[in-house]
Amino acid sequence: MAIAVYSGRADLHDALRERCPGFTLVSDGPERDGCRIALLDDDAAEAAPPKALVRVILGRGAQRAPTTTRGTLRLDRAAFLADPANFLAFAVDLAEAAVHASQLEVEVGYLTQIAELMAMTDASAVSERITRTVLNLLSLARGTLFIHDPRLERYVVSFTNDAGVRDTGEFLPGIPQSLLQRALASGISFAADAHMIVIPLQVEHDLVGIIKVPLAPGDAVEDDAAANVSRYIGAVASVLGNIYQLTRSQDLAMRDDLTKAFNRRFFESYLDEEIERCRRYGTLFSIIFLDLDELKTVNDFYGHLTGSRTLQEVAKRILAAVRGIDKVVRFGGDEFCIILPQTDQEQAFAVANRVRKAMTGTAYHLEPDIDISITASFGIATYPAHAITKDDLIRQADLAMYRVKSTTKNAVGVATVEPVTRPAAL
């Protein structure tokens, strides 16, 4: 533990260098004000080291025994110079005891908060409490907690008081991958650059969340604050794990048991969210409806078990042909829907053709003696070009798909823009 020395007397510095070789002594520079122990000669007794937990003040006049008051140790200067190493060792013990007591007090506070968090049933309230505690430890005002949502397969805002945060649909919204990797490799789950602090929240090997704190010019974070945040995050990891497990349980309720694609329940809620997001930020998205051609023939000829295996393999090929942010939904018996965020009509057309080719590229080898070839009819609709309500968007994509299914099959159709009916002039 470093000791700050405040003195203008050469004899004190000479004595310390000669008799205290095992101590780290800092006599000038900005590092001095950060020391936990301060040695103040009588000509500097009025100095107020900002971080000192123990102040050793040397004075004139003989004193038979040192006196201490609230972390201040007052010594006769001559007595100190006779055996400085012994007195400094005592000061170090006092400082370490103060640090340990402070850490115990903080940890008791963390345990109390964990008990309170465990009693909360609102995940957003838990996220707010954790984020605000981290901000208080950092002495900063704004921050955002992102929690991994398996339903969306990305990190979403669980709490923020930062007006500049936008849900862009990115996997890690506004967080550089390199900075996150630095934080994960740091050993204290903390990394910062000139613009932000990133604090990963891990439960065992799962990255369940990330706290992002923006930095304004002039903002600074001291090492002690970073260490306190790391200890706090480690303490509340179990609570974050509970939130994550709850989210994963909700995800299972949104999945189709057979294909593991999302189900109709997910489709209804997610499409509402996507329309609202596009309305708010002036963006667009597309949906692709696809209906398998002649699955009934497979069921009739090979049986429903083979038909179910076919559906599973179709879902795997669709999932492999789309992006991570795209959502694949089993809409009905042999009908699927793909939701494509931030995708226009032309891009959706390219995706549909990529999925179509993935489905028909090779036969489905379901049993040693069963190879199935199956195609699908596709229909595309884009918000807001083809419709501005959920029901109309679904209807447009469905109509485009059935136009293909009733003609060529194994092709991609696009919704048409319906003409606007204007009232007759009076």
Query: Is the CB of residue 143 less than 8 Å from the CB of residue 134?
Result: yes
pLDDT at 66: 53
Distance CA 381, CA 130 (A): 41
Dihedral of alpha carbons 249, 250, 251, 252, sign: positive
What residues in the chain have per-residue pLDDT under 70? 43-46, 61-70, 100-123, 150-152, 238, 241-253, 418-426
User: Residue 131's Cα: distance from chain center in Å?
Assistant: 11
> Between β-strands 54-59 and 72-76, what pairing exists: parallel, antiparallel or unpaired?
parallel
- Of 137, 143, 224, 161, nearest to 188 by C-alpha is 224
Q: Interior CA angle at 376 toward 373 and 379, to 5°?
A: 170
Q: Is 278 exposed, middle or buried (0-12, 13-18, 19+ CB in 10 A)?
A: middle
pLDDT at 104: 62
For residue 114, give the amino acid letter.
I
Query: Is the CB of residue 201 less than 8 Å from the CB of residue 180?
Result: no
| Residue in the structure block whose two tokens are 């419709």 | 387
- The CATH number assigned to the domain with range 254-414 reads 3.30.70.270
Distance CA 107, CA 168 (A): 37
Distance CA 397, CA 333 (A): 17
- Of 261, 166, 255, nearest to 214 by C-alpha is 166
pLDDT at 405: 93
Q: Which residues contact 354 (CB under 8 A, 6 or more apart)?
A: 321
pLDDT at 412: 96
pLDDT at 426: 43
Both tokens assigned to 18: 């000669």
pLDDT at 259: 86
Q: Interior CA angle at 188 toward 184 and 191, to 5°?
A: 60
pLDDT at 125: 79
Q: Options 2.60.40.420, 3.30.450.40, 3.40.50.300, 3.40.1400.10; which CATH number does 120-250 get?
A: 3.30.450.40
Both tokens assigned to 383: 């918000």
